[in-house]
Structure 1
Amino acid sequence: MTDAATIVIGSAGRRLYLVDWFRDALAALGLEGRIVVTENDPTSAAASYGDLARAMPRYGDPAYGEALIALVEELRPCLFLTVNDYELTHLHVETDLAEQLRARGVLVPGVSRAWQHGCADKLRMARLLDSLGVPTPATVLGDDAEGIAALAGCAEELVVKHRLGSGSSGLAIVAPEAAVAAVAAAAESAPGRRSGAPTRRDVVVQPRLPGIEHGVDIVGDLVRPGRLSAVLARRKVRMRAGETDQAVTVDASPFRHSAQLIADAAELTGLIDVDMFLDEHGEASVLDINPRFGGGYPFAHLAGADVPRFYVARALGIEIAEDWGDYATGVTAAKYESVRVTARGS
């Protein structure tokens, strides 16, 4: 056990609550420590909210890797996490930076390289889920005319979105006859897989799932990959800018089977945020996976769960009771706006 700890949160953006809750976790465990926030934009809401702020190059900058390793060598954190999808892909897929950090004794939550790649690519994710037998909507590319026609023949509405998007990037829910136009519109702003202008292959089309949308956090043990530790669930009541704005916590039982399959296959360590639909027969289907703290975690935390405390305890080898994953059902919460000064002067 140690009486001091450094935790690095990358690209926290607007999620100041994560900084607060990791501070609370240190206090609950009786530890001295500090929360370091790394940001490319030093005037972002979270950049100066930590105990220490460090400006970093953008994840795509050639200087990013060297800067990250230098930061780790200097500060010796026990835990590093980021809430930016593209930074995660850079760490786990495009480079071996996540493994370099782990080799230096830093706990870096995540999924296997193959699953991180899948989380960033909605077509690949659908295929991974299909291979496990986890229900997920049929997914075709925007240039697959026959595939789109087949979906149109069996669905009242189609979902169009960016293949490599984050959040609800490029999202449109349209009647089947409007799908082709929606694909063309989404392609204009789609993140591309390579250099050059995006195409319709950078857009996916799916049938709109029946049932009620839920957000589910699947939490794996941080030192034993694939071991399921908790499942936290909430029914989405209202969305705003692609993020859950209001939700009510619910029993996670309908989602546990899929959660176990995903945790095992993905070699999961830590928390992943999963969008699921629950139909009238109680069958859950997976729509999307974000391998990080998502915008829905606060609803479980405010109902009693405490994943940050679990993270810190596992990072430092501290034994804690398993009640960190317990939460009350039927708790409704809603997000609200706030503002803080992040810089002064010109």
Structure 2
Amino acid sequence: MTTRVLVTGVGGPAGVAVLRSLLRRDDLEVFAADMDGWASGLYLVDADHRRIVPPGRREDFVDAIIAIVASDGIGLVVSTVDVELVPLSARREELGAPLAAPSQAALTTCLDKWQLAQACAPHARVPRTALLDEAGIALDWVFPVIVKPRSGAGSRGVHLVEDRAALQAERLDDGWIIQEHLPGDEFSVDTLMGRDGTAIAAVPRLRARVDSGVAIAGRTVHRDELERTAEACAAASGLVGVCNVQLRYDSHGVPALLEINPRFPGSMPLTVAAGVDMPSLAVDLALDRPVPDRVDFVEIANVRYLEDVFVPVDQVLDGVEAQR
């Protein structure tokens, strides 16, 4: 029996990675959705399976998804965009199909770096963290420190503060936090959590080259301490399904939590190539189908390049017009 799956956010690398994984399966009929008619992932499927939706921040976004689910007989919704996750999860019961996304509670924890630090601190190494207020600034910090927004993605707003004078000059705002600066190498760990709170897979990746917060070259690595730390943090956050745990080594060689992205990462093709097809596993998990207790991976490296997709002009223009 074929299940129809709607993948949203197919203009980004995560959406394209999910599409390419799911399109290999004979038991899935895949629909691709994006707010932009120029989104490359739309053209990985035929015209009958392309959908234009409102931006995730718009009030009518979830209503549009509900309408597509009803009209196309969708059996599962897979979102790959941060801003879509919260509204979709909030109205999960109205969608008319299962949603492959974390619960509202887990999203709230992961998307607020202050709450995340508090949730994970009892279970793993977490950098010293304080709110950017008078009390936080007054703490005895070892400089430099990191100042970052409590919410946000792609390293936007994150900056290094060299000394106390510079920290005191920061604009006080409870939407920001101060964190201990970690000097070691940074790793991303693609993690798949089962419904019982245990990890099905945890694949550490060295981010060898990064552009705008997205790794464009890297390699998978076997390091038990990275896997254990990522699994502990994902479990403490209450996540089920795919997430990306970002870790950095401290001065003592201990991996510590930076943040958790509760979605598919843009570098997912590397994890799939390493032997863990997380998009496919996440679909089975969301549909309550059997999944392995544990999936191992191999060490492999990748570099990324642009790839052109050529389509008739009228098809792209139709997509652009549909969003107006």
Shift of 1:312: 3.7
Greater RCO (Cα-Cα under 8 Å, separation 6 or more) = 2
Q: Structure 1: give runs of 5+ residues left out of the alignment.
A: 185-198
Residue aligned with 2:114, SS: helix
How far apart, in 1, do the equivalents of 2:243 and 2:307 lie?
A: 26
Residue aligned with 1:204, SS: strand
Pair 1:280–1:200, CA change in 2 (3 A):
closer
Cα deviation 1:169-212 (Å, max 9, x = unaligned): 1122231243455x45xxxxxxxxxxxxxx73322221211322
Cα deviation 1:42-80 (Å, max 9, x = unaligned): 222223433411111222322222221111122233322
Aligned ranges 1:237-276 → 2 under 5 Å:
237-276=208-247
Q: Give, as a single letter, the amino acid of the residue that structure 1 aligns with 2:238.
A: E
Higher deviation after alignment, 73-82 or 309-318:
309-318
Q: Give, as a single letter, the amino acid of the residue that structure 2 aligns with 1:13.
A: G
Q: Which residue of 2 aligns with 1:202?
A: 175
TM-score (norm 2): 0.84
Residue aligned with 2:188, SS: strand
Q: Which residue of 1 aligns with 2:321?
A: none
How far apart, in 1, do the equivalents of 2:267 and 2:191 lie?
A: 12
Pair 1:60–1:279, CA change in 2 (3 A):
closer
Q: Which residue of 2 aligns with 1:178?
A: 166
Shift of 1:270: 1.1
Report % sequence identity: 26
How far apart, in 2, do the equivalents of 1:20 and 1:32 lie?
A: 14
Residue aligned with 2:297, SS: coil
How far apart, in 2, do the equivalents of 1:320 and 1:295 lie?
A: 23
Pair 1:119–1:106, CA change in 2 (3 A):
same
Shift of 1:276: 0.7
1:12 to 2:10 alignment:
yes
Q: Which residue of 2 aligns with 1:212?
A: 185
How far apart, in 1, do the equivalents of 2:146 and 2:251 lie?
A: 20
Q: Is the 8 A contact 1:227 1:268 kept in 2?
A: no
Q: Which residue of 2 aligns with 1:57?
A: 54
TM-score (norm 1): 0.79
Q: Structure 2: give runs of 5+ residues left out of the alignment.
A: 318-324
How far apart, in 2, do the equivalents of 1:136 and 1:343 lie?
A: 51
Residue aligned with 1:91, SS: helix
Pair 1:146–1:106, CA change in 2 (3 A):
closer
Shift of 1:321: 5.8
Shift of 1:254: 1.0
Q: Which residue of 1 aligns with 2:101?
A: 109
How far apart, in 2, do the equivalents of 1:172 and 1:341 lie?
A: 40
Aligned ranges 1:26-41 → 2 under 5 Å:
26=25, 31-41=26-36
Aligned ranges 1:62-77 → 2 under 5 Å:
62-77=59-74
Pair 1:71–1:204, CA change in 2 (3 A):
same
How far apart, in 2, do the equivalents of 1:165 and 1:263 lie?
A: 18
Q: Give, as a single letter, the amino acid of the residue that structure 1 aligns with 2:139.
A: A
Q: Which residue of 2 aligns with 1:90?
A: 87
1:81 to 2:81 alignment:
no
Q: Which residue of 2 aligns with 1:195?
A: none
Cα deviation 1:213-238 (Å, max 9, x = unaligned): 110012112xx352321111112222
Q: Which residue of 2 aligns with 1:154?
A: 142
How far apart, in 2, do the equivalents of 1:228 and 1:62 lie?
A: 35
How far apart, in 1, do the equivalents of 2:310 and 2:177 lie?
A: 40
Q: Give, as a single letter, the amino acid of the residue that structure 2 aligns with 1:38.
A: A
Q: Give, as a single letter, the amino acid of the residue that structure 1 aligns with 2:307.
A: S
Pair 1:117–1:337, CA change in 2 (3 A):
same
Q: Is the 8 A contact 2:145 2:162 kept in 1?
A: yes
Residue aligned with 2:160, SS: strand
RMSD over aligned Cα, in angstroms? Answer: 2.6
How far apart, in 2, do the equivalents of 1:269 and 1:315 lie?
A: 9
